[in-house]
């Protein structure tokens, strides 16, 4: 199977699961593409961001058409924080690329940080730990800043920490948290893509790949959002934890392989 078709099917599957669980798909796309290892880390991060960005648009549209109610005050302030965090995360990523001659070290940093966020999300969700029910613009902004930074730096779109942090800080039910997570992902990845465009342009990437990535992301976003509307919260939580465990295994293997 060609690289293009592998990317196409990986992104459909990842974005379908990502839209259901609120993870965004990148948490699956990034480690799987690292595992395939046919592109450099900077290209993988870019393709993952584009896929997750497109998914976030299609998924949000589908959710809103399905009658999901959204607090735009929360979305806007989390989004502002996510945009700022997205710019900061991308600059940090570029800093790592410039200061480490071996791309494997940058990948290892991403794997390590992703692993920490995955473990936090897994334990928080499984044990249903304390919620703080915070309210106010400063909290929304701070939440978005953290999520946008991690989403952009790790190239995973935000992943499981989005859902867990939204539940932790604001006491949202998991299905509501998944919707706000996807909204946050849209803004953080938009910031990253704009930063890449003005900093270095898209010339270093094989843009033909977008003819496979964008349609796959749209399909995954719509299918995931449709399934999410009919799946009970308990099942969403189970899917959430199952995906975390799967991605942890893939990340551990990718990290181990760098030492071989």
pLDDT at 228 over 70: yes
Q: What is the pLDDT of residue 158?
A: 63
User: Helices H, strands E: what count in the chain?
Assistant: 10, 0
> 39-70: per-residue pLDDT in tens?
988 899 899 889 988 888 887 787 777 777 77
Q: What is the pLDDT of the chain when averaged over all its residues?
A: 86
- Cβ neighbors of 29 (< 8 A, separation 6 or more) are 10, 11, 14, 15, 47, 48, 51, 52, 156
Number of domains within the chain: 1
CA 177 – CA 6 distance, rounded (Å): 30
Range of the domain at 40: 3-258
């Amino acid at each position: 199977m060609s690289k293009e078709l592998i990317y196409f099917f990986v992104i459909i599957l990842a974005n379908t699961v990502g839209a259901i669980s609120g993870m965004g798909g990148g948490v699956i796309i990034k480690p799987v593409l690292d595992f395939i290892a046919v592109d450099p880390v900077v290209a993988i991060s870019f393709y993952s961001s584009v896929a997750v960005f497109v998914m976030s648009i299609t998924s949000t549209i589908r959710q809103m058409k399905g009658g999901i109610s959204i607090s735009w005050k929360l979305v806007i302030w989390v989004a502002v924080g996510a945009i700022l965090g997205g710019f900061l995360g991308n600059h940090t990523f570029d800093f790592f690329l410039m200061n480490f001659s071996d791309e494997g070290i940058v990948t290892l940093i991403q794997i390590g940080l992703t692993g920490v966020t995955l473990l936090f999300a897994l334990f928080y969700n499984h044990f249903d730990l304390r919620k703080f029910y915070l309210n106010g613009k400063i909290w929304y902004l701070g939440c978005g800043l953290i999520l946008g930074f991690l989403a952009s730096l790790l190239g995973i779109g935000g992943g499981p920490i989005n859902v867990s942090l939204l539940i932790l800080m604001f006491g949202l039910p998991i299905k509501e948290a998944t919707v706000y997570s996807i909204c946050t992902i849209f803004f953080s990845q938009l910031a990253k893509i704009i930063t890449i465009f003005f900093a270095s342009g898209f010339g270093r990437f094989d843009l033909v790949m977008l003819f496979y990535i964008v349609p796959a992301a749209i399909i995954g976003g719509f299918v995931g959002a449709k399934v999410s509307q009919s799946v009970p919260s308990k099942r969403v939580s189970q899917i959430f934890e199952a995906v975390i465990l799967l991605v942890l295994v893939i990340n551990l293997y990718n990290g181990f392989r760098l030492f071989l």
